[in-house]
Amino acid sequence: MSTPNFKRTKYACYFAYLAMSSVFSLPPILFMTFREMYGISYTLLGTLVLVNFTTQLTVDLIFTFFSKHFNIKKVIRVMPLITSTGLLIYALIPTIFPQYAYAGLVAGTFVFSIAAGLSEVLLSPVIAALPSDNPERDMSMLHSLYAYGVLMVVCVSTAFLWLFGNENWMYITLFWAALPIVCSVLFFLSPIPDMNLSHESTTPDTAKKRTFALFLCVMCIFLGSAAENAMTNWISGFVESALQIPKVWGDILGLALFAVLLGLTRTWYAKYGKNITTVLLLGMIGATCCYLVAGLSNTPILSLIACILTGIFTSMLWPGTLIMMEENIPHVAVTAYALMAAGGDFGASVAPQMLGIVVDHVAVSDWAAQMSATLSITPEQFGLKVGMLTAVIFPLLGTFLLIYVKRYFKKQKQMQ
């Protein structure tokens, strides 16, 4: 019997991650448009992010406990079609029924978030299961394509909105809804490898150590994802409103350059990277500094640079934690990837929502009115800066956690 050629499978996974980036990067670009056209508050905009990642979290947990009950190969092939369906709902309901615009955005977000959760749970273990001379490189490359997808979505969407107006946002959304259909075709034409659905049998002592090690990795990916996604989801609005940079340039100089640095750093690691735990620690430290500068600086260009540089420091915090797990916990199963995705999605849901709540509450406070007058900015701008300072808690806690994790895994290896 001939060995399947998985080359096309790898490319299908890569393209799926590229296409999936639209469900993460398009909504933040449209946040200010939704606020202007439909009067949606910052808190409700943050709630859309919460719905996105909470849905993904639910999918992650379902696969954590019930992965054996699914036909994994069929799910992989169908999930891009779910993405397209969600984006169609997202675009059409607010257009046809503007009085129910927010309900349509929530419904569309819920549907395409199901597919996003499935992709995070299943694409990484598919790549890990493929025959490869350098699995670390393949994993890092998979996640780097997400960043390049963000860049593509930001540049094309921003150019479209600039040329045709924000009121035509639904047409660019329909365009992005078409790409996942190509992914589904590729998966139907590609062999899907068998994947491990359960951990190897271990002694109670070993199982306890594996569980604790996995818990540490889940906490790392939670804080890393929070650090990345707080900036990813709010950099466009922060640059436009807090720094008073025009939207078209804010999106290109902010979110697009953030994505470029995110992708280039992941690509660099795929080719040259090593010592992943040290890389993660340095990333957390760098992200902490960037959030502090973005929130504290009164110089718009300095704040913008800090926001952009966050892309370098947060680039490996999600895929790097998966690599760290694979290096320190042998024979991980789909359930472990699902649990890691749950941790990442929980961080990605908590951080943007928290930032939105902080902005709304601070902006209407007497304190904001006094401070904004002193700083010669609006209360809303002041609230956005306070939101950035609040988000620093995630990479700061991640720094302390990774110092412990680095020592813990080093000690475990010495005991073996």
Q: Do the domain assignments include residue 122?
A: yes
Global pTM reads 0.76
- pLDDT of 190 over the 70 cut: yes
Q: Is pLDDT of 368 > 90? A: no
Give the CATH number for residue 368: 1.20.1250.20
- Overall number of domains in the chain: 1
Tell me whether residue 198 is in a domain: yes
The verdict on residue 7 lying in a domain is no
pLDDT at 270: 83
Q: pLDDT at position 350, please?
A: 86
**Is the pLDDT confidence value at 249 over 90?**
no
Picking from 366, 413, 401, 17, the residue whose alpha carbon sits closest to that of residue 186 is 17
Quick one: pLDDT at residue 247?
A: 64
Q: Which residue has the higher pLDDT, 52 or 215?
A: 215
| Tens-place pLDDT, residues 33-56 | 898 899 888 778 878 877 887 888
3 inside domain: no
Is residue 364 included in any domain, yes or no? yes
Residue 387 pLDDT greater than 70, yes or no: yes
**Is residue 91 a part of any domain in this protein?**
yes
Q: Which is nearest to 347 in space by CA: 118, 56, 33?
A: 56
Q: What local confidence, expressed as pLDDT, does residue 384 receive?
A: 84
Distances (CA, A) of 259 to 74, 145, 149, 212, 385: 31, 10, 8, 33, 21
Q: Does the pLDDT value for residue 200 go beyond 60? A: no
Rounded CA-CA distance 356/395 in Å is: 18
Mean pLDDT of the chain, nearest integer: 86
Per-residue pLDDT reduced to its tens digit, 55-112: 888 888 887 777 777 888 899 999 999 999 999 999 999 889 988 999 999 999 999 9
What is the spatial distance between Cα 310 and Cα 258, in angstroms, rounded to a whole number? 7
Least confident range from 97-106, 261-270, 377-386: namely 377-386
Query: Is it the case that residue 29 has pLDDT exceeding 70?
Result: yes
Q: Is residue 290 part of a domain?
A: yes
Is 1 part of a structural domain of the chain? Answer: no
336-352: per-residue pLDDT in tens? 888 888 888 889 878 88
- Of 100-104, 127-131, 283-287, least confident by mean pLDDT is 127-131
Cβ partners under 8 Å of residue 302, min gap 6: 293
Report the pLDDT value the prediction gives residue 317, as an integer from 0 to 100: 95
Domain containing residue 391: 13-415
Q: What is residue 290's predicted lDDT score, i.e. its pLDDT?
A: 95
